[in-house]
Amino acid sequence: MTEEDADALTIGRRIRQLRTARGMTLDDLAVAVDRAPSQMSMIETGKREPKLTQLQAIARALGVTIDALLEGEPLDERSALEIALERAMKGQTFQALGIEPFRIAKSVPTDALKALLALHGEIDRLKDERAATPEEARRANVELRHLMRRQDNHFADLEAKASEILAAVGHSGGPLTQRTASEIAAYLGFTLHYAPDLPQTTRSVADLAHGRLYLSSQVQAKGDARTAVLQALSSRMLGHSEPRSYAEFLRQRVETNYLTGALLIPEAHVVPMLVEAKARRAISIEDLRDAYSVSYETAAHRFTNLATRHLDIPVHFLKVHESGTITKAYENDDVNFPTDRLGAIEGQMCCRRWTSRVVFDEDDRFNPYYQYTDTGNGTYWCTARVEASSEGLHSVSVGVRFDDTKWFVGRDTPHRGVSKHSVEVCCRRAPAELEGRWRENSWPNVKTPRTLLATLPTGSFPGVDTTDVYEFLEAHAPR
């Protein structure tokens, strides 16, 4: 028997059926187990999970064993249908359609329940069909994200490897210089070479036979040369072999980026700084960025490696393209990220009310933007900044639960948002009048970069925010 088989809803249905089969009313059973009828009603409807002592008392009152209450299979077809529909109403498909859960009365025909479940199943089947092409990538992403969550995004073996390499080149702390990055390359047996004709689809190319590492001659103009060198060398440090699956490829990418961050911001040096900042209630991603001369994204991502393990602060991280598409995500603070049916976050549209989207509308790009956001899963505080990349603007944000805001600079922000992103009508669907006027009279040409498009769920126009399209057409339509 699985955990799902014996969930509160199934147990409650079995209790109700056994009670009615014995001719007992809800009040009769409540008296027999010395509980209020309202409490028994909550148990029978699956809204409250009974404790073991309560189950024992209920079993005695009904003249059955506890095992009889915990049987996975419902007692009849009607109960099976009701349970299936109630579970469906709590699932993502119903929520995305904005359908509120409703009480399934006895007067609802069994055929109606079957029809609703068949419709739900067909919607899910169509979603699966549309997601079939990138399914392997999505599943691999989901599995990797679950691993990162279980580890609080902290990997001791990678931290140890970074310490070993830094010790080998005599790095004593503080920002890693470009010269030290070159010394790491030499320690690993490589010389560095810049080439103007590096293949556009590569970040670097290593000549293993001759110990030469080729980087684009544009790397210094486009970004941090240290990061490019360390990312290129990390696979050698970790002994990566050619990936045999997409999952292995993704895992290697994550390990490479993690090790690069651990070299640029060494754990042994930065943790005391973060602990001291927490004591002052002045944790700041900007301060971390400036102290180690790294990008905001590197500082933000590195903070997620250390926040829970060393500061006891659950955290989430988001990177969102200016189109609204989520390209990177991590959380262990129960924030409710949008996902597809496979559980993948990458490629989903970020809620317009979230800090990661609102920050694009801010004129001040010098200072970070802070915001509290009320969600269906609690209130979260986030700090975000917009950065430029070869694929356009993107925002990088770090967030924590409301109770942990007290440790951060920016907690006094007046900015506040409300998000109900689990319901599609929150912001993903245009207002009904606007949608009705333009849905059949618009045809956007997708601009999303192909690297983002590969992660997007398929649909009419993947990566297109239809509300933006309709609002644009409405504003520019001839009057």
Average pLDDT over the chain, rounded to an integer: 85
pLDDT at 289 over 90: yes
DSSP string, 210-259: TTEEEEETTHHHHS-HHHHHHHHHHHHHHT----SSHHHHHHHHHHHHHH
Write down the pLDDT at residue 68.
Answer: 80
Express each pLDDT in 384-396 by its tens digit: 999 988 778 999 9
pLDDT cut 70: percent of the chain above it: 86
DSSP string, 256-294: HHHHHHHHHS-HHHHHHHHHHHHHTT-B-HHHHHHHHT-
Q: For residues 418 and 373, give the distance between their C-alpha atoms in angstroms, rounded to a whole number.
A: 5
Express each pLDDT in 405-421 by its tens digit: 999 999 999 999 998 76
What pairing do the DSSP bridges indicate for beta strands 212-216 and 191-195? parallel
Tell me the mean pLDDT in the region 113-117. 91
The helix (H) or strand (E) run that includes residue 101 is none
* Best CATH choice for the domain 8-130 from the list 3.40.50.970, 3.90.79.10, 3.30.360.10, 1.10.260.40: 1.10.260.40
Express each pLDDT in 58-104 by its tens digit: 988 988 888 888 775 556 788 888 888 888 888 888 887 888 888 88
Residue from 270, 256, 282 nearest 310 by CA: 270
Write down the pLDDT at residue 426.
Answer: 63
Tell me the mean pLDDT in the region 146-155. 96
Write down the pLDDT at residue 475.
Answer: 72
Sequence-separated (6 or more) residues with CB below 8 Å from residue 78: 110, 113
Please report, for residues 37, 43, 68, the alpha-carbon distance to residue 50 in angstroms, rounded to integers and kept in the order given. 14, 6, 15
Residue from 19, 339, 307 nearest 11 by CA: 19
Residue 366 backbone class (left: φ over 0; alpha: ψ -120 to 50; beta: rest): alpha
Identical fold, 8-130 and 265-421:
no
Tell me the mean pLDDT in the region 203-212. 82
Helix axes 156-168, 246-264, angle to 10 degrees: 50
pLDDT cut 90: percent of the chain above it: 43
Q: What is the pTM of this model?
A: 0.67
| Ranges of each domain in the chain | 8-130, 265-421, 429-476
Please report, for residues 224, 340, 384, 450, the alpha-carbon distance to residue 132 in angstroms, rounded to integers and kept in the order given. 37, 12, 33, 18
CATH class of 265-421: alpha beta
